[in-house]
Amino acid sequence: SQTIHQWPATLVQPVGSPLSLECTVEGTSNPNLYWYRQAAGRGLQLLFYSVGIGQISSEVPQNLSASRPQDRQFILSSKKLLLSDSGFYLCAWGPDQETQYFGPGTRLLVL
Identify whether the C-beta of residue 97 lies closer than 8 Å to the C-beta of residue 37: no
- Looking at the Cβ atoms of 31 and 85, the one nearer to another protein is 31
Q: How far is the CB of 18 from another protein (least distance, A)?
A: 24
Q: Is 24 in the site for another protein (CB under 8 A)?
A: no
Minimum gap (Å) between residue 37 Cβ and another protein: 12
**Does 43 interact with another protein (rule: CB under 8 A)?**
yes
How many CB atoms are closer than 10 A to CB 60?
Answer: 10
Tell whether residue 11 is a contact of another protein (CB under 8 A): no
* Number of CB atoms found within 10 A of residue 108's CB: 21
46 binds another protein (CB under 8 A): yes
Site for another protein in 86-105 (CB under 8 A): 90, 94, 97-105
What ranges in the chain are assigned the alpha helix state H?
A: none
Q: Applying CB under 8 A, which part among 20-28, 48-56, 65-73, 78-86 lies near another protein?
A: 48-56
Task: Give Dmax (Cα) for the chain.
Answer: 39
Q: Which of these, 91, 90, 78, lies nearest to 38 by C-alpha position?
A: 90
* Contact by Cβ (8 Å): 56, 63: no
Binding residues for another protein, rule: CB under 8 A, are 32, 34, 42-44, 46, 49-51, 57, 59, 90, 94, 97-105
